[in-house]
Copies of this chain bind each other. A is one copy, B any other.
Amino acid sequence: MERKRITIVGVGLIGGSLALQLHEKKLSSKLIGVDSNKDHAKKAVELELVDEIMSLDEAIDQSDIIMLAIPVDKLVKLLPSIMDKIEKQIVIDLGSTKSQLVESIKSHPKRARYVATHPMWGTEYSGPQAAVRGAFENKAVIICNANESDADALEWTRAMYKKIGMHLLEMEAKAHDLHAAYVSHISHITSFALANTVLEKEREEQAIFELASAGFESTVRLAKSNPAMWVPIFMQNKENVLDVLKEHIAQLTRFKESIEKEDNDYLMKLIEEANKIRRIIK
């Protein structure tokens, strides 16, 4: 693939990890960082995630590709104004919700230069220092509403994601947001709520955490995730997140009732049902 001049807006966990991977796979002739957080911008250069930092306008001028890795509330505000400024450049976002974003530039004259994507990778850490080498490899990336993008923009986007090791899926933004609520957003809510449950108790019981086991750690790990990223995701995906959250509370209530009633058979059935998740995760 021909190397491109690539701007990354938001050089944190996602943007920083992407930068490392774009360089590693020889996709970039130049990597430009844009970040409203000056400390992050400085750190991204120090860590050699990007070659240099520019203002957004400068960066747009000097790039072939503009990739957006910022929280989804900022994305919805920024994307239309970026589309106003570009000529032939390709604009790609990496946000965790897609419907509002796609809707926000639906009628924009440059709509076809934009590709909506969601690479399904992340960690519970944030900022440029959280960037990870080899990120995204063997994970799924979803490209949304592909038929609304230009063929050349799509082609480069697909080739780039393949090159950094991802497998491609395509779906409409609405379907994406529904599925993301089930396989990602709810996991974060349960983890946040579990952390709060246990921290609430800790006020009374100092010793509690000496016992924290590997099982606890894996279910509560995501509770360290960045609120500036997750609050906008939950709000933008409100309907789907509420649907799955209500279903989850209903499922937990079944466990509660089976224990209250000492109904061993029903509790056994609930757990056997849950065991079927083996079909999905090995």
**Contact indicator A224/B192 (Cβ below 8 Å):** no
Contact with B along A180-196 (1 / 0, CB 8 A): 10111011111111111
Is A107's CB within 8 Å of the partner chain B?
no
Interface centre among A200, A235, A271 (most CB of B within 10 A): A271
Interface of A is mostly: helix
Number of identical monomers bound together in the oligomeric complex: 2
CB proximity of A141 to chain B, nearest CB, Å? 10
Task: Find the B residue at minimum CB distance from A250.
Answer: B197
Task: Check A264/B231 contact, CB under 8 A, given A252-B190, A270-B192.
Answer: yes
Q: Which of B194, B234, B247 interacts with A187 by CB under 8 Å?
A: B194
Within 8 Å of chain B (Cβ to Cβ): is A1?
no
A20 contacts B by Cβ under 8 Å: no
Write out the residue numbers on chain B whose beta carbons fall within 8 Å of the beta carbon of A223.
274-275, 277
Residue A2 interfacial (CB < 8 Å): no
Beyond A271-B227, A273-B196, A274-B192, is A218–B215 a contact (Cβ under 8 Å)? Answer: no
CB of A39 closer than 8 Å to a CB of B = no
Is the beta-carbon distance between B169 and A210 smaller than 8 angstroms? yes
Residues of the B chain whose Cβ atoms lie less than 8 Å from the Cβ of A256: 242, 245-246, 249
| Distance of A19 from chain B, by nearest CB (Å) | 20
Q: How far is the CB of A12 from chain B (nearest CB, A)?
A: 16
Determine whether the beta carbon of B191 is less than 8 Å from that of A219: yes
Note all chain B residues with C-beta closer than 8 A to A274. 191-193, 195-196, 199, 223
Question: Known: A186-B197, A275-B223, A277-B198. Is A208-B192 also a contact (CB below 8 A)?
Answer: no
A276 within 8 A of B: yes
Contact B234 A259 (CB under 8 A): yes
Q: Is the CB–CB distance between B200 and A213 below 8 Å? A: no
CB neighbours (8 Å) of A260 from chain B are 238, 242
A37 on the interface (CB 8 Å rule)? no
Using a CB–CB distance below 8 Å, which chain A residues touch chain B?
120-122, 139-140, 142, 169, 171, 175, 178-180, 182-184, 186-202, 205, 207-225, 227, 230-231, 234-235, 238, 241-242, 244-249, 251-256, 259-260, 262, 264, 267-268, 270-278, 280-281
The 8 listed contacts between A and B (C-beta, < 8 Å) are: A122-B213, A189-B252, A190-B252, A195-B275, A199-B276, A199-B277, A235-B259, A238-B260
The 7 tightest CB contacts between A and B, nearest first, are: A227-B271, A192-B274, A195-B274, A195-B277, A193-B251, A187-B219, A223-B274
